[in-house]
Amino acid sequence: MSRPRHHSTLLFRDRQDAGIKLAQKLQAYTHQPGALVLGLPRGGIPVAYEVAKALRLPLDVYVVRKLGVPGQEELAMGAIALGGITYFNEALVEQLEISQDAIAQVIAQERQELQRREQVYRGNRPPLELRDRTILLVDDGLATGATMRAAIRSLRLQMPHQIVMAVPVADPGTCASFQGEADQVCCAETPQPFRAVGLWYENFGQTTDQEVCNLLHQAGL
């Protein structure tokens, strides 16, 4: 549905509200045996927490890092995930003429942060056992979709039964592009023009490591 961009058309108060609304679209998975909600940190965790709570499913975290364009870090040229998965938006890299050296530098930096977050959020918990499970992979929104794409490709290596990609809000074109990547795609809202995820939230403050840890703890982890 096309929505003009006015203050009155904000879709969500905050990530908690977004998670509650997203869960309504995923009710078919309520209490499904073997199903698991995975949130992409940091912003995806408050959304995933509400989804897991509403559907009465376990929650965990799946660490992925966006690779930002040097000097325009918010613009994703790709992403990295566990298992050595690297995804690139080749067209963007070419268009902006980003050198291999610059890319290697960003990857090295983000790989360090990936490992740091994995340690902070997982601690001594064992690695996830995802084989033959239904995974609801949740983030707070999709703009370029780079981090989500890397997450799905990384998850595939662990041979889950099904990957359900679920977000409260997404760019319509990006959402459609996931039809071939995930087994099921749920974008609760696909407003046009889209511009940026944060525009559709009244409160889109950065989620902290502490908040992520608190929500995982509340979920029994």
The 10s digit of each residue's pLDDT in 53-90 is 999 999 999 999 989 999 998 888 989 988 888 888 89
Q: What is the pLDDT of residue 84?
A: 84
Task: With cut-offs at 50, 70 and 90, classify the pLDDT of residue 9.
Answer: confident
Distances (CA, A) of 148 to 5, 163, 180, 184, 203: 25, 11, 13, 13, 22
Q: pTM for the full model? A: 0.90
Segments making up each domain of the chain, as ranges: 7-64+129-218
For residues 150 and 169, give the distance between their C-alpha atoms in angstroms, rounded to a whole number.
Answer: 19
Q: What is the pLDDT of residue 179?
A: 94
Lookup: tokens for 4: 């003009």
The 10s digit of each residue's pLDDT in 89-98 is 899 999 999 9
The 10s digit of each residue's pLDDT in 184-213 is 999 999 999 999 999 999 999 999 999 999
Average pLDDT over residues 25-30: 98
Amino acid (one-letter) located at 36: L
Q: What is the pLDDT of residue 33?
A: 96
Predicted confidence (pLDDT) at residue 2 exceeds the cutoff of 70? no
For residue 68, report the phi and psi dihedrals to the nearest 5 degrees.
Answer: -85, 150
The three-class DSSP label of residue 168 is strand
Q: What is the pLDDT of residue 74?
A: 82
> For 7-64+129-218, which CATH class?
alpha beta
The three-class DSSP label of residue 29 is helix
The 10s digit of each residue's pLDDT in 106-140 is 999 999 999 999 999 998 888 889 999 999 999 99
Question: Are 170 and 187 contacting, i.e. CB atoms less than 8 angstroms apart?
Answer: yes
Q: What is the pLDDT of residue 73?
A: 87
